[in-house]
Structure 1
Amino acid sequence: MSPSVQRQLALLGGGFSTDDDGLLDDWVLSRVRSRAGAAPTRVCFLPTASGDAAAYIDRFDDAFRTRHDCEPSVLPLFRRELDDGALRARLLGQDVVYVGGGNTANMLAVWRVHGVDRLLREAYDRGVLLCGISAGANCWAEASHTDSFGPLTHLHDGLGLLAGSVCPHYDSEPGRRASYTSAVAVGTLPGGWALEDGVGVLFTDGQLTQVVTRAPDAHAYRVEADGRGGAEERALPSRPLR
């Protein structure tokens, strides 16, 4: 990795699949426009966690084709068409890789079969911004809080590009908050980052650098064991996008 390359990860509590205003997606694109220069920003969508659901792909295409400074593409793996060389060229040639929601455990397994996990690490080291919602936020960390196996549980199987754990849907899915804080309190999950719907959290070279919100009551939290059998939840300062 060149010393001048910034490695960026963005955890999203929204985006084209849940919101109509486009604020979080525009924020993601703004992080890389200087890298793209005068060329359109290249964004590749990985819908693996949804099983490459056609409706999800169509929604991405509808949202990003309307951005005239953007060059969107989709990388399906369940009906893969690219050989290994073309697959590597596709991922490393992006400004943004955007990962959709669905089943985190299944997605990671499919990625490893096709070598996508290694390619994403290489892309990250080359300065491609990696981001996503739900499973697409979980996957970057060492561990995550997931419903991949039905009931809410922990998954120690992430890519490890971000230290600690991630919990999405912190405010919108019943049981998420209590289950995650309990897991962190007893050490089942390492401390980490909890996202309510409507927030975006940016990490640069593994360090928290920005928190934004598209809704005034949306928050992101740092959650850590307090050493007394409980968990400490700290709301992170944020900037509204509106």
Structure 2
Amino acid sequence: MSITNASIINKLLIKHNHTFASIVDFDKKYESVLNLDFTAQNTSLTAEIINNTHLFCEYINAALLANNAKFGVGGYLEHRTVYARSKHFDGEEGEPRRLHLGVDIWGNALTPVYSFMDAKIHSFANNNNFGDYGATIILEHELDEYKFYSLYGHLSLQSLAGLNKGKEIKKGTHFCDFGVPDENGHWPPHLHFQLMTTMDGKQGDYPGVGKFSEKELWANKIPDANLLLRF
């Protein structure tokens, strides 16, 4: 069944939340997460840090260590300043893209990632631009006869090995890993996790950042991935 409204998938994610597998290894009884803010309100994240991948990695690592957190999370429909680091997010004219559409999970490079439910490979690619996803996998799902998609960006290049379109991925399967900066678009290691109600004809790629002025449009197309994460 084809749909265009994210609110339907959001309701299904709440309904079926107890059935989903964890995307990363995390035990909320013994481990903690840190909510990371990448908006202009976070004055500790300076332009010097944002524009230097090594310093950016040190910033994330220090924040996690200081808060005894295994992962940092956040970002759904967040208006971020960090995208000024790359021309990839600047339009040819007018408003640049600064609205983050997915949820980021920040952690160690090569952190295993698992399928939260049964899926099949929709498409995959190495989006190898500075600031882009790097290695990317998109899965196709069906829930109560409604089709939707999940995107996994900033992966290791090894994650793309042996993939083919239509390959089945069972719930709980380890199918990819966080990439290192040289493979993930030159970001600190993390997973960009995003849900989509439609692929708009795209293969191996889908916008993960949009224009803030189009927030309502994106909110109607991009379900809230927080509804299935187990943090």
Q: Which has the higher contact order (CA 8 A, sep 6+)?
A: 2
Establish whether TM, by shorter chain, passes 0.5: no
Q: Which structure shows the bigger proportion of residues in helix conformation?
A: 1
Give the TM-score of the pair, scaled to structure 1.
0.28
